[in-house]
Amino acid sequence: MTTIAVQGLTKRYGPDTVVEDVSFTVEPGQVTGFLGPNGAGKSTTMKMILGLAAPTKGSATIGGRRYQDLRRPLTEVGALLDAGAVHGGRKAYDHLLALAVSNGLPRRGVDEVLARTGLEGVAGKRAGQFSLGMRQRLGIAAALLGDPPVLIFDEPVNGLDPEGIRWIRGFMRSLAQEGRSVLVSSHLMNEMAQTADHLVIIGRGRLIADTSMSEFLHAKGEGTVLVRTSDPGSFALQLTAAGAVVRDGVESALVVSGMTSLEIGKLAAYHGVTLSELTPQRASLEDAFMELTKDSVEYQGAAA
């Protein structure tokens, strides 16, 4: 099966090292999240994989070959960069047709990808009139033209409305389920938590983590739980006695860490306490990511 293999990839622009000695692989049948703060080198790495930027050192290969050596690249790799990277004056159909023809793909493939991305109705419209979400869909249609086993998406949910985000998430999951290798970049940990099976995290151009999502959650995702009850004071004591750490949240809620929501629920039942809310907090995942990358954020806002 086709994998993306990145080995010792380095990119320098003059004195600035944008990507430094990054190695990872993207395996088929799963979504690999490529995560890092803005300016971490994600886009540069993806451009090097696609042969759009030349590595200073190291290599990036797809199925063992450099992108430049692929005979019909659209049949091997589909890529979404920069909201479709499309000339706004061209109709969606013509944009896809030119790409298809350049790789010797049949004309009917254009209709197929238009249908798969829900753009049939606007195929005759110029891409400049498209909303951002529609342009993303057009970019994804282009990526799917050659039915490639490897897909690369750079920040696909950027600027999308919730409906569009949900569509893309489901879409990436289904592509992976079809056995394809899917590499998706994002700077939002929570976004990745919903889609990725595997995580590659970089910061300031360096590899920080290369791990499966479940391992990452297990190691870092020790979450907090938001608890509301009519008598927070006494329940807080009971929680502390049971080994949890309790902080006061907003509107007399309790923020509990060190216990799962299941354990807290059982404890409440044992003491006969009525809970009006018991919510596991996802934010901890974001916290774990921030913790990992805090030294590698380009510009950090000062705490107020």
Partner 1 sequence: MSSPAILSIGQTLRAEWIKLRSLRSTWYTVACLFGVGLGITGLAMSSAGQQYRTATVEEQQAWDPTNLSLTTYIVAQLIIGVLGILIVTSEYATGQMQSSLSATPRRHRLLAAKVVVATAVAVVAGQALMFASFFLGQALLASQDVPNASLGDPGVFSAVAGGGLYLTAIALLAVGLGTIMRATAGALATLVGIVFLVPVLAGLFPGWMEGLLDFWPTRGAAAVFTTVPDPAYPHPWLNLGGMCLGVAAVLVAAFVVFRRRDV
Residue type, 229: T
Count the residues in the chain: 304
Contact between 264 and partner 1 (CB under 8 A)?
A: no
What are the b/e assignments for 242-273, b being 16+ CB within 10 Å? Answer: bebebeebeeebbebeebebebbeebbeeeeb
Contact between 98 and partner 1 (CB under 8 A)?
A: yes
Would you say 5 or 70 has its CB closer to partner 1?
70
Q: 103 near 145, Cβ under 8 Å?
A: yes
Contact between 132 and partner 1 (CB under 8 A)?
A: no
Least separation in angstroms between residue 100's CB and partner 1 is 8
One of 17, 103, 194, 257 touching partner 1 (CB under 8 A): 103
One of 52, 132, 226, 283 touching partner 1 (CB under 8 A): 52
Contact between 71 and partner 1 (CB under 8 A)?
A: yes
Near partner 1 by CB under 8 A, which window of 87-95, 180-188, 195-203, 221-229? 87-95
Strands (DSSP E) along the chain, which ranges?
4-13, 16-26, 30-35, 57-62, 77-80, 150-154, 181-186, 198-203, 206-212, 224-229, 245-248, 254-257, 275-281
Token pair listed for 82: 């920069």
Rounded CA-CA distance 120/171 in Å is: 17
Least separation in angstroms between residue 63's CB and partner 1 is 15
Rg of the Cα atoms in the chain: 23
Contact between 101 and partner 1 (CB under 8 A)?
A: yes
Would you say 91 or 169 has its CB closer to partner 1?
91
Residues ≥6 apart with Cβ < 8 Å to 160: 132, 133, 136, 168
Near partner 1 by CB under 8 A, which window of 92-100, 155-163, 231-239, 261-269? 92-100
Residue type, 104: G
Q: Could you tell me the CA-to-CA distances from 250 to 57, 222, 255, 297 in Å, in that order? A: 51, 21, 9, 29
Q: 287 near 216, Cβ under 8 Å?
A: no
One of 88, 170, 179, 233 touching partner 1 (CB under 8 A): 88
Contact between 90 and partner 1 (CB under 8 A)?
A: yes
Contact between 84 and partner 1 (CB under 8 A)?
A: yes
Least separation in angstroms between residue 173's CB and partner 1 is 24
Residues 144-163 vs partner 1: string with x where CB under 8 A? --------------------
One of 4, 6, 74, 113 touching partner 1 (CB under 8 A): 74
Residue ranges in contact with partner 1 by CB under 8 A: 47, 50-54, 67-68, 70-74, 77, 79, 81-91, 94-95, 97-99, 101-104, 142
